[in-house]
Amino acid sequence: MIVHRLRSIILASFLGSILVVATVLIGACGYTPEELSRMNSSSERDNNTPEFLDNSELAARIHEFSRTKFPAHYSGVAISGNDSIKLFRKPGSNLDAAVASQFTEIDVEFIDSAYSLQSMEDITEKVMKDSSYWQDRDVSILGVGPAPDGSGVEVNVQNPSEVEQAFIKHYGPIVKLVDRGPAMFAK
């Protein structure tokens, strides 16, 4: 019993780490707005750093503003070159006007999405909490996280076509199963 409990604790900790890594891997340009901001202000920045990092602080501010003020509509943000930012959101709010008036220093392209970041994070959390349920059915969840374009929650499993209907039945059409192989960790 203690061994089973210890395995559950280790698995939960491991899956929590995978969620963090998956969010980074799945996020726009491979980085969250917060990471882009840290990298942009880093003293270790070199000449090989992509130009899109110049707008990382602004992307992080737009992300925080939109997420806080419009949680039911905001989906994600992506840096698009050096002169614009893509903002993914569910239609039907004043988010576009609020962002356009608040952040006049850059062009923001507003793109429709299916789900808000808030709803995708809720499902991400449910999938993580259900990891033992899926493990009991011989399904290993290798990563999970919101798609930055608001298209749903990406769940990394082996052989997704074999279990896709079970996931959709359990969580609804918000889940998108992918097979990206095992998560890789930097040494």
Residues 144, 87 share a domain:
no
pLDDT single digits (tens) 103-123: 998 999 999 999 999 999 999
Residues 35, 24 share a domain:
no
Domain-terminating residue out of 97, 112, 127: 112
Neighbours of 186 (CB within 10 A): 4
Assess if residue 186 is contained within a domain: no
* Percentage of the chain exceeding pLDDT 70: 68
Domain-terminating residue out of 112, 138, 161: 112
Residues 15, 53 share a domain:
no
pLDDT single digits (tens) 8-66: 433 444 444 333 333 333 343 444 555 545 544 544 444 344 444 468 899 999 999 99
Buried b (16+ CB within 10 A) or exposed e, 150-171: bbbbbbbbeebeebeeebeeeb
Query: Which domain range does residue 63 map to?
Result: 31-112
Buried b (16+ CB within 10 A) or exposed e, 86-121: bbbbbeebebeeebeeebeeeebeeeebbbbbebbb
Average pLDDT of span 85-102: 96
Assess if residue 166 is contained within a domain: yes
Residues 62, 15 share a domain:
no
- Token couple for 31: 């980085």
Number of structural domains in the chain: 2
Answer whether 0.95 is exceeded by the pTM: no
Cα 35 to chain centroid, rounded: 13
**DSSP label at residue 147:** -
Residues 104, 40 share a domain:
yes
> Do the strands 84-89 and 107-112 form a parallel or antiparallel pair, or are they unpaired?
parallel
Please indicate whether residue 2 or residue 109 has the higher confidence score (pLDDT). Answer: 109
Assess if residue 184 is contained within a domain: no
The SS3 of residue 88 is strand
Assess if residue 185 is contained within a domain: no
pLDDT, mean over the chain: 78
- pLDDT value for 70: 97
Assess if residue 123 is contained within a domain: yes
> Do the strands 141-146 and 153-157 form a parallel or antiparallel pair, or are they unpaired?
antiparallel
Residues 57, 93 share a domain:
yes
Assess if residue 183 is contained within a domain: no
Residues 81, 8 share a domain:
no
